[in-house]
Structure 1
Amino acid sequence: MIKFKIFALILTVSLCFSCGEDPVPKPKGFLRLDYPKAEYTEAEIDLPFTFEKNILAQRVRNVKIDSKNRSYGINIDYPSLKGTIYLTYIKVTEDNLIPLIRDSQNLTQEHTQKADAIEGDFYENKDHNVYGMFYEIGGNAASQSQFYVTDSVNHFLNGSLYFYAKPNYDSILPAADYLKKDIKHIMETLKWK
């Protein structure tokens, strides 16, 4: 009985000292992603056009060349962001420009099932004869940004951004915003040869 009283006394004293201030909930934390400031250099690849790429892009690869149609597939890989900008260049002929533009627009519109919004901005650089559209796609779509540019006579280039993960807009938004600036820089520095 004495052991029980001593145990009860120790338990009571412990409970009294363990009580402190009322618990306060911790503030919500947000993931902080710091990306390096973008530095650009000319892409060193033999193509019918030149552009500047972010040095964060570790690889720029020609993935397919169709010499008959003079088309090229180019991947700009960002392993640290788990994303790739896919570029497709096609030589313009007298009968393929309208279908190429229509196909690029349709590719963007295919994301409407999952997208919350699709915003398109017209792009024009008269000095370098580059005209086109940039599309920003909001929501859980497979691609967050797409674009096409042309000189309307000889050259057509379209591009899209894809990540190596299942689309979760909230999670990929910081990386998508960072790479959206790189896509716009590609468009702004594009020069046809």
Structure 2
Amino acid sequence: MNFKAIFLILLLICAVGCKDEVFPKPKAMLRLEYPEMATKKLEVDCAYGFEYSEQAHLELNKDCSLTLDYPDMKGSIFISYKNVEGNLQKLLSDAQKFSYEHVAKADNILEQPFVNEGDKVYGMYYEVKGNAASQSQFYLTDSISHFVTGSLYFYTKPNYDSILPAAVHLQKDVRQIMETMRWND
């Protein structure tokens, strides 16, 4: 064998044999980071107002119902308004029933009462865990004239593990809406 052949064989052995050991990748969670929530005040001619995230795109309807759309997270918060006209019990019953329609797909529904005595805002927050269509819902009222309901939905088939980071982030906005709700009387 000549020198060139031996050199090529040695070079080939070195090239093939000098690779790093292959290790399996460790299991890990995808880390999604969303910017801190900067808020702005709702500036519309309706019976209520609140602060919401600047990330949201506002779509207002004539009946003062609105949608806060979050295109980057593929989700929306839908808010509707009703006047209380002696029908508070029905409005409360409907809001509670609507929240519990998700119980078939939900793993758990956590209820958290909300009371802001100073501004006369009372309600309930529902955090829905599992593959339900809506990840959180709420209702707010002054018990006399105003009733607001809200729901968080994503534009995708519910897969709780996949949407959890976005759901947690948007639930903070839902809480911001609830905590800053004011009636415009």
TM-score (norm 1): 0.86
Show the 5 A alignment for 1:6-155: 10=9, 14=12, 18-19=16-17, 20=19, 22-57=21-56, 59-65=57-63, 72-94=64-86, 96-155=87-146
Partner of 2:72, secondary structure, is helix
Q: Deviations over 1:96-147 (max 9, x none)?
A: 1111111111111110111111000000000000000000000110000000
Give how far 1:30 is off: 2.7
Q: Displacement, 1:186?
A: 0.5
Tell me the distance in 2 between the aligned counterparts of 1:103 and 1:161: 17
**Count of residues paired in the alignment:** 179
Distance 2:25 2:13 in 1: 24
* Structure 1 residue 60 displacement after superposition: 1.4
Secondary structure of the corresponding residue to residue 145 of structure 1 = strand
Give the CA deviation at 1:25. 1.4
Instruction: Return the alpha-carbon distance in structure 2 between the equivalents of residues 157 and 101 of structure 1.
Output: 10
What SS does the corresponding residue of 1:80 show, helix, strand or coil? Answer: coil
Partners of 1:139 and 1:31 lie apart in 2 by 19
Cα distance in 1, alignment partners of residues 33 and 67 from structure 2 = 24
- 1:89 alignment partner, SS class: strand
Q: Deviations over 1:68-107 (max 9, x none)?
A: xxxx32111111111110001000011x111111111111
CA offset at residue 18 of structure 1? 2.0
- TM-score (norm. length: structure 2): 0.89
Report how far residue 64 of structure 1 moved: 4.3
Separation in 1 of the partners of 2:13 and 2:42? 68
Residue 112 of structure 1 aligns with an amino acid whose one-letter code is V
In structure 2, runs of 5+ residues without a counterpart are none
Q: Sequence identity of aligned pairs in percent?
A: 47
Instruction: Give the alignment's Cα RMSD to 1 decimal.
Output: 1.9
Residue 170 of structure 1 is aligned with which of 145, 161, 169?
Answer: 161
Which consecutive unaligned segments of at least 5 residues does structure 1 have? 66-71
